[in-house]
Structure 1
Amino acid sequence: MTPVLTIQNGTKIIQNGVDEPRNILNKINLTINKGDFITVLGGNGAGKSTLFNAITGTLSLSSGTVTLGGNDMTHLREEKRAAYISRVFQDPKMGTAPRMTVEENMLLALHRGKKRTLKKRELKENRDYFKELCAQIGNGLERHMTSPAGNLSGGQRQALSLLMATMTKPDLLLLDEHTAALDPKTARQLMTLTNERIQENQLTCLMITHRMEDALTYGNRLILLEKGEIKLDLHAQEKAKLTLPDLLLFFEETED
């Protein structure tokens, strides 16, 4: 197995009060291998978003290391890490530029990690490709290529964010409860699209979800976080045997 990302003794301490330091990540050790699709569960305050922020560089660790592709990036700035890591957020508004058109947003994503410029010639050359990608989604996004992204529905905008995050095959894809703000039908459609994009492009992915059914259905590995620590890390064979009642029991035990 080839490690894509490794966190060693990842710790983040914050001051809760004058003399009340609190570990929101507590000596986490995690290795994500190439091709892993890991679902992440945990209650409020478990450390899920903090873990993602530590990976992307949004938040610096108090101690410990973050290694990507064998290179130490513990102190690498967020914008530098963005060349290798893509993230889709819970809020559909966060993944796109609202005043730019759908195709302009996709052109920006095509040049992820490079100097960002908009050239009409490049937009014209890629227009058919962008439209073809959008047509694969099945929600009519291809009919809005010249519409501002801010005019799209939540589901369309989140699907666009997913396309943008996976167009250039990132080393690591982070999905931060990306279906949570959608209605159940749209969320199911987006999860189907998500799984297709991950499998077809052989992506390595870490997905936070609050839907336990999705945590069981998708991916080859499941992690349960509690109070900044990994309490459960199930790989493919163990995860395949897990039932929803089992998972609910694990979840209740960590909350006690």
Structure 2
Amino acid sequence: MAIFEIKKATKSIQNGPKEQKILLNQLDLTINQGDFITVLGGNGAGKSTLFNTISGTLPLTSGQMFLEGKEVTQLAEEKRARFIARVFQDPKMGTAPRMTVAENLLLAQQRGEKRQLIFRQLKQQKDYFYTLCQSIGNGLENHLDTPTGHLSGGQRQALSLLMATIKSPQLLLLDEHTAALDPKTAKQLMEITNQRINEQNLTCLMITHRMEDALKYGNRLILLQKGEIIKDLSQSEKEKLTLSDLLHFFEETIF
């Protein structure tokens, strides 16, 4: 069943007084329930633009978007937050640095809900937050009362992932969420990411520059070039690829 559909999505911007630059070009994409789609593409391929238009931070020039058959093309970003969660490349972007780990998780629990004055009931949630953080396996549970700005980059990204998935969003966007981490920490976070996606049966799009991760994780792989999807590979097609195949494809078609 299709969770999210993109039809003829086009985004253009003014690039000088007489030139328009096409960022997305008549892009079509159907995202089905339970899909874990890895997204590859060179600089300027349209990866970030695609995520920004899906999340609502960037309006389309033309085209349509549908959530479970209902058009959401004009829906505001804050309203899309009810069903879309996103983890950014920069560990600082997904959390509030002066708030503690527990306070950040409590805030994430209220994502997409109507704002009103209520008691926080933070103490009542501490045991749940401890167990949730303990499942990550990086000691985050010992920092529930620590301001997020004092965490390591890996812990902060793990917290961002927990915050994004605490309410099981209908669509999860991972925007190069391991790119700013060292290789060991990035590997650990990817294993945690895959575990949470599988356990919660989440639907996910993940931009990555790590071709090993693109081959290892997910059931689909799409390749972007100049705002168009030039390859949409299924699980079986992806399993036949080697790292050398993918690198060669990049050299021939993208770079």
TM range (shorter): over 0.9
- 1:62-141 to 2 correspondences below 5 Å: 62-116=61-115, 122-141=121-140
How much has 1:118 moved relative to structure 2? 7.7
Task: Indicate conservation of the 8 Å contact 1:41/1:224, yes or no.
Answer: yes
After superposition, the Cα gap between the structure-2 partners of 1:184 and 1:47, relative to the gap in structure 1 and judged at 3 Å, is: same
Instruction: Report the TM-score, using the length of structure 1 for normalisation.
Output: 0.97
After superposition, the Cα gap between the structure-2 partners of 1:116 and 1:143, relative to the gap in structure 1 and judged at 3 Å, is: farther
How much has 1:183 moved relative to structure 2? 0.4
CA RMSD, 1 decimal: 1.1
For residues 60-93 of structure 1, give each alpha carbon's deviation from its aligned partner in whole angstroms, at most 9, with x where no partner exists: 0000001112110100100000110000000000
Letter in 2 for 1:181: A
Distance 2:90 2:132 in 1: 22
After superposition, the Cα gap between the structure-2 partners of 1:119 and 1:160, relative to the gap in structure 1 and judged at 3 Å, is: farther
Q: Runs in 1 of length 4+ with deviation above 3 angstroms?
A: 116-121
Letter in 2 for 1:102: V
Distance 2:120 2:205 in 1: 35
Task: Indicate conservation of the 8 Å contact 2:41/2:254, yes or no.
Answer: no
Distance 2:24 2:62 in 1: 10
Q: 2:183 aligned with 1:153, yes or no?
A: no
Distance 1:43 1:104 in 2: 37
Residue number in structure 1 paired with 2:52: 53
SS at match of 1:94: coil
After superposition, the Cα gap between the structure-2 partners of 1:239 and 1:203, relative to the gap in structure 1 and judged at 3 Å, is: same
How much has 1:115 moved relative to structure 2? 2.7
User: How many residue pairs are counted as aligned between the two chains?
Assistant: 255
Q: 2:202 aligned with 1:190, yes or no?
A: no
How much has 1:122 moved relative to structure 2? 2.2
How much has 1:120 moved relative to structure 2? 5.2
How much has 1:175 moved relative to structure 2? 0.0
Distance 1:202 1:190 in 2: 18
Distance 1:23 1:232 in 2: 19
SS at match of 2:205: strand
Report which stretch shifted further, 200-209 or 16-25.
16-25
How much has 1:255 moved relative to structure 2? 2.4
Task: Indicate conservation of the 8 Å contact 1:108/1:116, yes or no.
Answer: no
Distance 2:254 2:140 in 1: 41
Residue number in structure 1 paired with 2:204: 205
Residue number in structure 1 paired with 2:214: 215
Distance 1:132 1:118 in 2: 27
Distance 2:44 2:132 in 1: 37
Task: Indicate conservation of the 8 Å contact 1:107/1:118, yes or no.
Answer: no
How much has 1:214 moved relative to structure 2? 0.2
Distance 2:206 2:237 in 1: 18
Percent same amino acid among aligned pairs? 69
Residue number in structure 2 paired with 1:7: 6
Letter in 2 for 1:47: G
Residue number in structure 1 paired with 2:251: 252
For residues 17-71 of structure 1, give each alpha carbon's deviation from its aligned partner in whole angstroms, at most 9, with x where no partner exists: 1111111000000000000000000000000000000100100000000111211
How much has 1:123 moved relative to structure 2? 1.1
Distance 2:116 2:133 in 1: 22
Name stretches of at least 5 consecutive residues in structure 1 with no aligned partner: none
Name stretches of at least 5 consecutive residues in structure 2 with no aligned partner: none
Distance 2:120 2:62 in 1: 47
Distance 2:36 2:65 in 1: 19
Residue number in structure 1 paired with 2:223: 224
